[in-house]
Structure 1
Amino acid sequence: MKAIQYRSYGDYSENRLVELPQPSLNDGEVLVAMRTVGINPLDNTFRSGHYYGATPENLPRIGGQTGAGAVVASKSDAFMVGDRVFVRGPGFGISADGTWREFVAARAASLSHIPDGIDDNHAAAYLAGAGYLTGYLALTEFAKFKPGQSVLAPAIGGAVGMETVQVARRLGASLAISTASSTEKAERAREAGYEHVIDLSREGLKDGVLRITEGKGVDVVVDGVSGKLTGEALASLAFGGTVVIAGYAGGREAEVNVTDIIWKAATIRGFTFRLFAQQTVAAASAALLEFLNDGALQPTIDRVFPLSEAADAVRHLIEDRPFGRVLMRAQHAQRRPVST
């Protein structure tokens, strides 16, 4: 079985293509032939050694937190051979081997059925950045979002930005605003149906928000960028608004004006999935799957790499600021699983 494994923490090149034994099945587990797997910025954080669990004892590790595939063997009544499934398990790619391989053995609780009409690539894109789930939980659990409120989710090309905007529109936001780093990306976003995108190469974030909201500011900010953008996002907040910090693609340090916190009576929350009970995440996932089925969510794909080019794929995600998800295609099609 081919897999992408890192045996040391370091740069992109540590994502190495290796040959490993196919996993065997225990009772209650399902063997999935992976078709398309997602890449999350956190995959880069883990491998580079910048995560709290990055210890020598956690090596070697197969990367990847999510993916889409088909069941090829099952010791669970919940799934049959041939079922197409989403794959996302606790600790995948972090404290347990992940999805960047040809075959994954997983508990039934880590799988869910892919709806008819959604191909493997778009199924993997739906899970890849965890943006939909982040946006939904940030809005509903942290910000206590109500229909008619306005939302800012910077970085339209990124998972949190693009997918939070889609979720906010589905939940009834009066305005769902994002940003683009260039005029080209802003125009591409508008052509894709994102009406309110601030071109940061031509206009400041606060000025853009106040223009769009007619001076009111936004009720909720879901910030997956951070860095210098966090202070500007806070300054764009309406009175009594909430900022949820959900990522740091733009940097880990931010400068803020504390009077924006005081005078706006702002609430600032740090987002991590560890804060949520399993049943809360499960309910959110079920709601999002309904949104996907009714067409409210549109997973967007920037590029699909072969599994063998994992180092280049991760670099593209981190450095090239793609518009949409970056995926890898698992090369299992010509290989039959060993009988389990």
Structure 2
Amino acid sequence: MKAIQISDFGGYDTLRLVDLPAPAPAAGKILVRMRLAGVNPLDDTVRSGALPSARQLPLVPGTGGVGEIVDNGGVEGLEVGTNVVVAGRGYGMFRDGTWQEYLLAEVQDLIPLPGGLDLQDVAAFTTGVGYLTGYLALTELASFKPGQTVLAPGIGGAVGLGTVEVANRLGASLAISTASRTDKAERARAEGHEVIDLSQESLRDGVARLTGGRGVDVVVDGVGGWFTGEALASLASEGTLVSVGYSGGKQASINVTDVIWRSARIQGFMFTLFSAQTLTEANATLFQYLAEGAFHPTIARSFPLQDAGEATRHLIEDRPYGRVVLEVPGA
């Protein structure tokens, strides 16, 4: 079978197309034929060698994707031909991931899809786990209540768009995102989102304008870097900032009075904070929202599997509006 494999940490050219033996069916395991695989910032972190806990090389990247069951290993309730999301912990980091034609998965790592969902929509929805991140950050960590206001920067990214749409579905009175370019801001506004164009005004000014000077109750920060300090200064009294990522940098500078005088709370985010049951229930809720039309995930561009290096570069350097996915070739 065809697969992308890393044999050395380094640049995009370390993502090489190789031929590997296809996994054999096994009792109690689910053999999945991958169709679409997401390209995420975490994949880039692994490839560069910046994640020290990643499995020893060689490694097939890919932290998630969508496929079809071709052998159910005798497991009841998972029929051959069922479309599934691969969403288990550790794929592409501690074990071979989804950037390959076939994957032998544990039952608990799969989410069977409701009928009628388009696989492209599902791939856009799950890539980057932005919707799941936003939902857990709001409901489990920030104690979000309907009527509160939310800021989630980076409308073109998974967490930015996902959190804004989740917040709206949960009853936020206002859900704000940001864009680094006017074209992204205009596109997001045309889709009905409230966006601060950071090329035209500062974050603090934009939040003050949109909230009447009050600030926001919750920030779900997937940017980090310079943004974190500005976001803290944009919180309302007793607001919460949930730090979920660092696409804008790992070092942040803050004014401690923004924490003290606002009685602000800063909370870190990792999926290991949540039980398997919590994750299962969250995913079930989110797929219900997707099926009812509450979410509008976007694919910016699809690449063939052999172009995984260029797909990763496009995601990291071009910062497109929407998700980047790999089309996994047929057998």
Q: TM-score range by the shorter chain?
A: over 0.9
Paired residue type of 2:164: V
Local SS of the residue matching 1:168:
helix
Residue 206 of structure 1 and its aligned partner are, at CA, apart by: 0.6
Classify the secondary structure of the residue corresponding to 1:187. Answer: helix
Query: Is structure 2 residue 5 aligned with structure 1 residue 5?
Result: yes
The 2-side partners of 1:32 and 1:299 are apart by: 24
Structure 1 unaligned spans of 5+: 336-340
The Cα offsets for residues 52-101 of structure 1, whole Å up to 9 and x where unpaired, read as 314xx611110001111111112121211111111122210000100001
SS in 2 for 1:264: coil
1:12: Cα distance to partner? 1.0
Query: Is the 8 Å Cα contact of residues 78 and 108 (structure 1) preserved in structure 2?
Result: no
For 1:29, the aligned partner's letter is: K
Q: Deviations over 1:285-324 (max 9, x none)?
A: 1111111111111111100000010000001010101101
Matches within 5 A, 1:139-288: 139-194=138-193, 196-288=194-286
Matched length: 330
Aligned-pair RMSD on alpha carbons?
Answer: 1.0
Q: % of aligned pairs identical? A: 56
What's the TM-score, normalizing by structure 1?
0.95
Aligned to 1:338: none
- Residue 282 of structure 1 deviates from its aligned partner by 1.3
What is the rounded CA distance, in whole Å, between the counterparts of 1:114 and 1:142 in structure 2?
Answer: 27
Which stretches of structure 1, 4 residues or more, deviate above 6 A after TM superposition? none
Distance 1:43 1:244 in 2: 22
Q: Give CA deviations for 1:94-147 in whole Å, capped at 9, x if unaligned.
A: 001000011111122111222222222211111111101110010011100000
- Give the distance between the partners of 1:185 and 1:128, measured in 2 at CA: 19
Match in the other structure for 2:34: 34
Q: Distance in 1 between matches of 2:314 and 2:164?
A: 23
Answer yes or no: is the 8 Å Cα contact 1:121–1:327 preserved in 2.
Answer: no
State the TM-score, normalized to the length of structure 2: 0.98
Name the SS of the counterpart of 1:130 in structure 2.
Answer: helix
Question: CA–CA distance in 2 between the matches of 1:9 and 1:21?
Answer: 23
Asked whether 1:136 is paired with 2:150, we answer no
Q: Deviations over 1:234-266 (max 9, x none)?
A: 100000000001000000001111100000000
Counterpart secondary structure, 1:232? helix
Bigger shift: 36-45 or 23-32?
Answer: 23-32
- Residue 48 (structure 2) aligns with: 48
Q: Are the aligned partners of 1:305 and 1:329 in contact in 2 as well (CA < 8 Å)?
A: yes
The structure 2 residue matched to 1:324, chosen from 314, 322, 325, is: 322
Alpha-carbon distance between aligned partners in 2 of 1:278 and 1:25, rounded to the nearest angstrom: 25
Unaligned 5+ residue runs, structure 2?
A: none
What is the match of residue 289 of structure 1? 287
Matches of 1:37 and 1:193 in 2, distance apart?
28
- In the alignment, the residues of structure 2 paired with residue 260 and residue 163 of structure 1 have an alpha-carbon distance, to the nearest angstrom, of 27
Structure 1 match to 2:78: 79
Deviation by residue 1:168-215 (Cα, 9 ceiling, x = unmatched)? 000000000000001111001111221x10000000001000100011
